[in-house]
Amino acid sequence: MYDTTVAERPGTRQDVRRDERQPQRQETPTILPRVDVLEDETGITMLADLPGVPRDALEIHVEGDSLTIEGTVASVTPAGMEPNYAEVRVPRYRRSFTLSRELDGGRIEAQLKDGVLRLRIPKQEHAQPRRVSIKVG
């Protein structure tokens, strides 16, 4: 869903258009988690903030060159109580990335600790630096 909004100018009306090429679909509202991406010679490390998401409510999908992280916040409400006020109104995180061809999506390692998801994505063998030996003679 691609919405284009033309800014309102004095004396004009606000015009909202939809890209007709994209199918209209209803998606559950989600929170975009903050992610740090760190690169070294052998790959990248992604650190995603997912507070309140337990391991069993976290999904990581790799399809082609697309990586998607999805997680549902576990509600911690004592039995017999109901919240009067809640700041987290959207209990679902979702973020997608396009992986470079240099990265090996088949060897991703994931670790969740203290609300932070750590993904280690190594580079393909051909993209990693290597030392070339020099022959004498």
Q: How far apart are CA 32 and CA 70, in angstroms?
A: 10
Task: Identify the residue with better confidence: 53 or 133.
Answer: 53
Least confident of 13-17, 19-23, 78-82, 100-104: 13-17
- For 25, counting Cβ atoms within 10 Å of its Cβ (0-12 exposed, 13-18 middle, 19+ buried), the class is exposed
C-alpha distance from residue 107 to each of 25, 62, 112 (Å)? 32, 10, 17
Least confident of 24-33, 43-52, 101-110: 24-33
**50-87 pLDDT per residue, tens:** 999 999 999 999 999 999 999 998 877 788 888 788 77
The pTM is what? 0.68
Q: Strands (DSSP E) along the chain, which ranges?
A: 3-6, 15-18, 35-40, 43-49, 58-63, 66-72, 92-98, 109-113, 116-122
pLDDT tens, position by position, 78-104 = 888 887 887 766 789 999 999 998 999
Whole-number mean pLDDT of the chain?
Answer: 80
